Structure 1
Amino acid sequence: MDVPSWKDEKYGTMKRAGLWLVSVVGVGGVFTKGELREAFPETSQIDRRMRDLRDHGWQIDTSREDASLGASEQRFVAQGEPVWEPGKGRAKLGAAITVTRRREVLARDGYMCRSCGIAPGQPFADSYESAQLDIARREVRLADGGVTVELVTECNRCRVGGRGLTADVAGVLAGIDRIGAFERKILTGWVASDRREFSAVERLWADYRTLPEESRLKIREILGGEACGLQ
C-alpha cells in the first residue's frame, strides 16, 4: 500500500517524521541527527517529534540500545502504528514513564517546576508545605496544526491545578506578534536565560502576599500614608 509523501505539510510533524523513516530511511536503516534536521529544517524540535513515535509502537534505537551506533546515529528498527492514517497517531496519555526517562526530563528542566519555577524541597510562599516534583503529561497544539503530548516537570501544586491544560504554540506566537518592541526585548531575555527575573517590587509583592491579614493591614496603612503625602 502506498504511503503519503513525507513532504506533505498537511500532516503534523510527527506523522511526517514517520513517513520520512518509511520512505527515505527504511526499516533497518541508520540515520544521523544531522540528516533528520536537514530533512526538517523548519522544525526546531524534530528530535522530540521523532521520539513521540515510540508511544505508538515504533522502535528507533540509539547508541544506548545498540552499541554499534555512533553518538549521533539512530536505527529505524520497526514500524509501529501508521500514524498518518485517519484516527491513528492520537496522543496516548496512559503510557508508563520509565525511570530513565523521568531522570532525563528532570535534568532537562533543571530540577524545577516548569510552571512556577519552584525547586524540590523549597517551601511554598504562603505555607510551610514543601514542593515535590513529578513528571506530568501536557498536551501541546503545534504551530503546524498537529497535536502532541510532552513531558514536563511540575510541582505537586501545579500538577493538580494544571490538569486539563493544553499548551498552544500558535497562540504564544500570535501573542508575541501583538506585543511592542520593549516588551519583546524583555521576553527575549527571559527566553534566552530560560527563567524570568523578578524585579524588587515584584518580590516584595510576593512577600507581602504571604503576610497574615493584620500584618498586611499595617503595610497598607504605611503605604496609604505615603500616598497621602504625595498628593
Structure 2
Amino acid sequence: MALPSWTDPKYGTMKSAALWLVTVIGEGNIFTKEDVKAAFPGISQADRRVRDLRDYGWQIDTHREDLTLGQHEQRFVKQGAPVWEPGKATKSGVTVTQTQRRDVLAKDGHLCRSCGIAPGETYAGSYESAQLDIARRTVKQPSGGEKVELVAECNRCRVGGRGQSTDLGAVLAGIADLGGLEQKMLAEWVSKDKREFSDVERLWAEYRLLPAESRAKVREALGLPAS
C-alpha cells in the first residue's frame, strides 16, 4: 500500500516527520537538524518531534549511539510504529524525565553498568571521554516474564549493547547454589558495589594478554610442560 504524502497538512508534525524519514531520508541514511528545518520551515519544535518518534519504537541514532556520526548528524536506523495510521501512535516506552534520569544515575553510582566507566573518563587507547545516558534493559524475571528497567550506560556500550537483556532469575538461582563462604564474598562485593581483584586474578588477566612466546615463559616459571 502506498504511503501518504509527508506534506499532507492533515498530519501533525511528528507524523509528517515520520513519513519524511521513510520516504525522503530512508533507513540507514544520515540527516541533520538543518535538514529538518528545511523540510519543516517555520515549525520551531520540528526537531523535537523527530526525537519523539523514539517513544514509538523508531531508532534514530546520534553521535552518542553511533561514534561514526558527527556532532550535528543523526542516522535513521529503523522505522518503528507507523504513527500516521489510526491507532498506531501508541508509545512503546515512556519518556525518561529529568527526575528519573537523576534518580537512575544516582542509584547506579554515576557509572556505566556495562563497563564501569564514569562520565568524563577517557576510554583506554583513545582521547574520547565517556558520556552517560539512560538505557532500557530487558530483565528476565524469576516468574518467567520480562520487565524493562532503566539503567545507566555509556555512549560506547549503548552502541554495542542495544537490545541487551539480563536474567534476574538465573542470578538469584545461582546465589542459592553458592556455599556460605562464596555468598559472603559476593555480599561484600554487592555491598561495596565494587570487586577488588586478587593478585592471582590480576596475573591471570595479564597472562591472557601475552603472546605465545611470552606465555611459554610463564608456563616454564610455573613448572608446567610446554604446550
- Per the normalisation by structure 2, the TM-score is 0.49
Higher normalized contact order (CA 8 Å, seq sep 6+, divided by chain length): 1
- Per the normalisation by structure 1, the TM-score is 0.48
